[in-house]
């Protein structure tokens, strides 16, 4: 099916690809892609919208030739390609998510072949150009992975994996269930249950502490035990030059290193 909702590019070429979803997952994930396609192909005066392609777990439908401008992101329509995607969230079946992302990467690789310069440009979320939440937090967090997968397909070979950066967030949970959020060197005490669940859903690691992890015995030079206690979890998560070796070598630091991927010193 071809959409009549398009404009000429007037000599301009696509400079980037914009990713959309067709609504909040809890409301629209079960929408029939055929209905979405019909909507994007129906003239509606100044409310007409369209996209170059629609992607869902079962496949891809191209609606507009990329040489033409689809009506999907207002002022950047003349210089962009728009792709409408099936919405997914943390309750969506994993196999449907994987199928959608793979179909999306295949379609993006197709556009890379048509416009090779796009392979060197990051993917844009719709929200970067219009006041909207589209395409949602889950797509926004996957854009770089989608781009890398599209590059693999476009180049016909696996790309060299980038060095995985240490997470900037980690959740500490004490034996009594109290949680502390470590964000970029700062501590947030007792975050809400909704925030904790949302962070875990997007992969923020959780470090479960034992009572022993919160207690320390510091040995004196003559090996006489001297009682000591860490009073703030920030002491454990901050690797500063003044941190003593006995603290660096403690089991909790080992756990943090393992979870966050920090090389041992």
Q: Which of 163, 202, 168, 160 is closest to 186 using CA atoms? A: 168
What is the pTM (predicted TM-score) of this model? 0.60
- pLDDT higher at 165 or 22: 22
pLDDT at 191: 78
Same-domain pairing of 33 and 124 = yes
Q: What percent of the chain has pLDDT above 90?
A: 39
Domain of 150: which CATH number?
Answer: 3.40.80.10
What's the token pair of residue 235? 């002491």
Domain membership of residue 160 (yes or no) is no
Alpha helices in 162-261 (DSSP H): 193-201, 233-237, 245-248, 251-260
Arithmetic mean of pLDDT, 106-133: 94
Residues 205-240 have pLDDT tens digits of 887 776 665 554 334 444 443 334 444 444 555 554
Residues 126-164 have pLDDT tens digits of 998 998 988 988 899 899 999 999 999 999 976 555 544
Same-domain pairing of 14 and 39 = yes
Same-domain pairing of 195 and 148 = no
- The range of the structural domain enclosing residue 239 comes to 169-260
């Amino acid at each position: 099916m071809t959409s009549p909702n398009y404009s000429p590019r007037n000599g301009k070429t696509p400079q980037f690809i914009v990713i959309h979803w067709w609504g909040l997952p809890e409301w629209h994930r079960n929408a029939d892609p055929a209905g979405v396609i019909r909507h994007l192909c129906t003239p509606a005066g100044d409310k007409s919208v369209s996209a170059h392609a629609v992607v869902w777990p079962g496949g891809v439908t191209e609606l507009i030739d990329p040489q033409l401008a689809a009506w999907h992101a207002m002022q950047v329509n003349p210089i962009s390609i728009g792709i409408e995607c099936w919405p997914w969230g943390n309750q969506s079946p994993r196999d449907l998510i994987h199928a959608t992302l793979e179909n999306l990467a295949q379609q993006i690789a197709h556009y890379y072949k048509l416009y090779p310069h796009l392979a060197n440009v990051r993917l844009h979320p719709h929200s970067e150009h219009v006041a909207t939440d589209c395409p949602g937090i889950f797509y926004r967090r996957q854009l770089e992975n989608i781009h890398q997968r599209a590059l693999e397909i476009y180049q016909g070979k696996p790309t060299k994996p980038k060095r995985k950066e240490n997470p900037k967030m980690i959740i500490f949970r004490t034996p009594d269930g109290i949680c502390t959020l470590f964000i970029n060197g700062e501590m947030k005490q007792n975050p809400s249950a909704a925030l904790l669940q949302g962070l875990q859903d997007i992969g923020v690691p959780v470090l479960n502490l034992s009572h022993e992890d919160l207690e320390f015995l510091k040995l004196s030079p003559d090996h006489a035990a001297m009682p000591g206690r860490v009073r703030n979890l920030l002491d454990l998560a901050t690797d500063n030059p003044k941190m003593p070796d006995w603290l660096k070598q403690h089991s909790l630091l080992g756990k943090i290193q393992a979870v966050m991927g920090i090389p041992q010193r």
